[in-house]
Amino acid sequence: MILEVCNITKKFGGVTAIKDTSFSVKSKEIYGLIGPNGAGKTTMFNIITGNYQPTEGAIKFHGQRIDGIKPFKIVHRGIARTFQNIRLFKSMSVLDNVLIGFDYQANYTYLESIFRLPRFFGEEKRIKKRALEILEILGIEQFANELSTSLSYGQQRKVEIARALAANPQLLLLDEPAAGMNPNETHELAELFFKIRDQLDITILLIEHDMKFVNHLCDRVMVLDYGKTIFEGHIKDAIQDEEVIKAYLGDFKHA
């Protein structure tokens, strides 16, 4: 298992956002975290990435506990994420937005960057080359020098994913990546995630409300409702589970 979430409880004052929740994600798996609004999904992402500390329980990455570690150190360990609302630097080009993701990987010192010594230029060249390779994998390399805000919504989402990939993650957390996309775009996005998994050996954990997208993409899912696990397993079984249907899916199985 690459990720183990062990009996996590998170309380905000008198409100319990997550209650005694556990799940594990296998290496190179695409795992879906689903449930209605307010179920605790994004809170769980924030705990995994160190933005929140759990009230109880533990998070293990490659068998080592990471709860209590600063978020930037968790990124260095190999976990990157995107957000529900796209967070790009609007005044910067697509390429520059992606280059920010390489920040901690630059193999030169502060003085070497100030005095523009040879290793600085060599590293900058290497990083730029890798950034362009990532943009090519995502099919947006032709926009490298465009302002990020000049792109369509779907393309901006890909830029955000590219920036997360620049951190060289082993585990990629995606918060509603298909939100606001039409069916053609979501199908294309699903195929892109398969490509990322297979070509870059990256495990994916995602939050999503589009059940057809989840059905096409995910190996397994966990369903949260009011912070509690009500189902874990294959999506084909989830959409026939009475408790899941009652909590979230409605008539999807008849769609």
Burial of 20 (0-12, 13-18, 19+ CB in 10 A): middle
Which of the two residues, 121 and 165, has the higher pLDDT score?
165
Q: What percent of the chain has pLDDT over 70?
A: 89
Per-residue pLDDT for 137 more than 60? yes
Residue range(s) defining the domain that contains residue 195: 1-78+169-255
Over residues 120-139, the mean pLDDT reads 87
pLDDT value at position 255? 39
pLDDT value at position 239? 79
Cα of 251 vs its chain's centroid, Å: 28
Final residue of a domain: which of 119, 134, 168?
168
What's the pLDDT tens digit per position in 223-239? 999 899 999 999 889 87
Q: Which residues of 58-94 are buried (b: 16+ CB within 10 A; e: fewer)?
A: ebbbeeeebbebeeeebbebbbbbbeeeeebeeeebb
Are 66 and 32 part of one and the same domain?
A: yes
How many structural domains are present in the chain?
Answer: 2
Q: Is residue 83 part of a domain?
A: no
Are 72 and 118 part of one and the same domain?
A: no
Are 136 and 240 part of one and the same domain?
A: no
Over residues 79-105, the mean pLDDT reads 90
Are 219 and 139 part of one and the same domain?
A: no
CA–CA separation, 84 and 21 (whole Å): 22
Are 72 and 177 part of one and the same domain?
A: yes
Cα–Cα distances in angstroms (integers) from residue 194 to residues 118, 130, 156, 191, 223, in the given order: 38, 20, 19, 5, 22
Final residue of a domain: which of 152, 168, 184?
168
Per-residue pLDDT for 5 more than 80? yes
pLDDT value at position 188? 92
